[in-house]
Structure 1
Amino acid sequence: MPSAPRKPRVRTFDSAKVRAALQGQVRALRDVVAVVCAEPDAQVLLAARTRLGEWTVRELIVHLVGALELLPDRLAERREPPARAGAGLLDYVGGVASRAAEVADSTVAGAAAFATADPDAVAEALDRAGERLLAAVAETDPATLIPTAFGTMTVADFMVTRLVETVVHADDLADATGVAVRHDRQALAAVTRLLADALAAKAPGGSVEVRVPPFAVVQCMAGPRHTRGTPPNVVETDPLTWIRLATGRAEWAAALSEAAVTASGERADISEQLPLLT
C-alpha cells in the first residue's frame, strides 16, 4: 500500500559558501560577456537570438545587469525593516513563472537604453553590476531582511536566487554565442540542489530516486516507498542537464533519446513535473 508522502525537506545553504560561489559565478559570467563583446563580430553576436523566445543576446545581458543589481537596489530602498521573512527559496522557484511577462517587459524596456551601445559599454555595464552585487553581499549581514517580488526574504536566501540567475543565464549565453562558460563548482552545486529540492517539494513521496551526481539525491513521487537496496525507480543525469530540464531549456524526451538522462523503472518518468522554473 502506498505510504503517505513525507513533508519535503528544505535545504539550508551556508552563507559564506554562497557568497564565495556568487563571486566565482559572477566572474565566470563576466568572462563570457567580455569574450563576446571583444569579438570582431560582437554586434552580430549581441543581436543573435537566444533560446529564450524573442530575447537577443544583448537583451539577455541587460536582464542579467538588472538581476545582479536587484539586491543592492533592494538594500538601498529599505526603510522600515520587515518583522520577519515571509518567503523562502521554494517560493522563489514557484513564483518565477508567474512573473515571466513582467520580467520580459522590463528587460525589453531596459534594453532600449543599450540598443545603440557599443559592445564595450555592454560589457562595462555588466562589470559594474557585478561589482555592486559583490560589494553588497560582502558588507551585509546575511540575516538582513529585504522586500522582494516573492515576499520578504533574507539576504542569505536572496543570494542563492542570484546563483540561479547567473548559472542558468550563463548557460543561455553559452548556448547562444558558442562561448564556453566555466561555472563555479559551488554555484553549480547550489543550483542543482535547490532545483532537486523543489522537485521533491512539488511531487512529495519516495517512489522515485533522482540522482544528480556529484551534488544531489532526492526522493519524490507518491507511491511505494523504497527503503533499502537498489531503488526500483531511478532517474540519473548530470548537473547541467538537470538544470536545463528543471528550467525548461531541455525536453525530457530529447534528453532520454540522447542518453543525457537515464530513467529505469515503471514510475521513473518525471516529465509531468517539469519544468520547475521557467
Structure 2
Amino acid sequence: MPTRCTPWTVSELLAHVRVVIAWLPGMLAAPAPTRAEVSAVEYYRPDSRFAPNTNAARIAMAQDHAAEQLSGAALAKDFNVTWQQVDRLCQAEPEGRVVRTRYGDPMFLSEFLVTRVVEVAVHGLDLADALGREPWLTSKAADVVQDLLLGGPDGAALEKLGWGQLRFLHKATGREPITSEEALDVDRLDIRWLTLG
C-alpha cells in the first residue's frame, strides 16, 4: 500500500524505521567521542544529510531492506528483533554515553535516542494513516517530539494555537497543511521546524 512518504510503500517505510534504529549497535560498538557537540535539535539542521543524493540513498536503502524480506510477517519480525536488541544495548550504557552518528555528529546517546523517537513516532503516524488505522502513538513518544519542537514542555503553546497534541505533531512535521494565519501564530510562538528528509 502507498504512504504519504512517496515513493515508499508501507513495507518500505517500516523497513526505513528499522534501518534508522539498526544504526545503533554499530554506533555503540565504536569508540566513544570525548564529548558531545550536537543536540537533537541541531541534528536536524539543513545540510548534506538532507541533500537530494542523501535522500535518494535513504529511500533506496529502505526499499532494498524491504525487498530482502520474504513477507510482511518476516519484515515485522525483523523489526521486532532489531528494536529489542537496540533496547538491550542502550539500557546497558552508562548515563552520559557519547556516540558518533553516521553523519559524524558526536552526541549524547540520550539525545540521539530522541531523534529515533522522532523517526518512530512520526513514521508511525504515516503508517497508521496508510493502513487506515487510528494512530498508536504513545503519550510518552508524543511528549518527546512535542518537547523537541517546542524547546521543552509547553502545553500553553498548543492551547494558544487551539490544537491538540496529535494535530500539532501532524502540522509541525508537514503531515497536515498550515494556513498562512496559523504560520503567523507559529512564528509568534517561536516553534521549531525541523529539517526532515
Same fold (TM over 0.5): yes
Q: How does 1:173-184 map to 2 (within 5 A)?
A: 173-184=127-138
Separation in 2 of the partners of 1:68 and 1:130? 7
Task: Specify the SS of the correspondent of 1:161.
Answer: helix
Tell me the C-alpha RMSD between the 2 structures: 3.0
1:186/1:121 CA distance change after superposition, 3 Å: same
Other-structure match for 2:140: 186
Q: How many residues align?
A: 190
Matched, 1:268 2:185: yes
Other-structure match for 1:45: none
Whose Rg is larger?
A: 1
Identity %: 25
Give, in angstroms, the shift of residue 57 of structure 1: 1.0
Other-structure match for 2:111: 157
1:190 counterpart letter in structure 2: V
1:90/1:110 CA distance change after superposition, 3 Å: closer
Q: Relative to total residues, which structure has the larger helix share, 1 or 2?
A: 2
C-alpha contact 1:247 1:275 (8 A) present in aligned 2: yes
One of 126, 139, 146 as aligned partner of 2:79: 126
1:156/1:187 CA distance change after superposition, 3 Å: same
Matched, 1:108 2:60: yes
Separation in 1 of the partners of 2:174 and 2:86? 27
TM-score (norm 2): 0.82
TM-score (norm 1): 0.60
One of 32, 37, 41 as aligned partner of 1:86: 37
Other-structure match for 2:171: 245
Separation in 1 of the partners of 2:57 and 2:8? 11
One of 135, 142, 167 as aligned partner of 2:88: 135
Matched, 1:166 2:112: no
Structure 1: state its 5+ residue gaps.
1-47, 201-208, 214-233, 257-262
Give, in angstroms, the shift of residue 62 of structure 1: 0.9
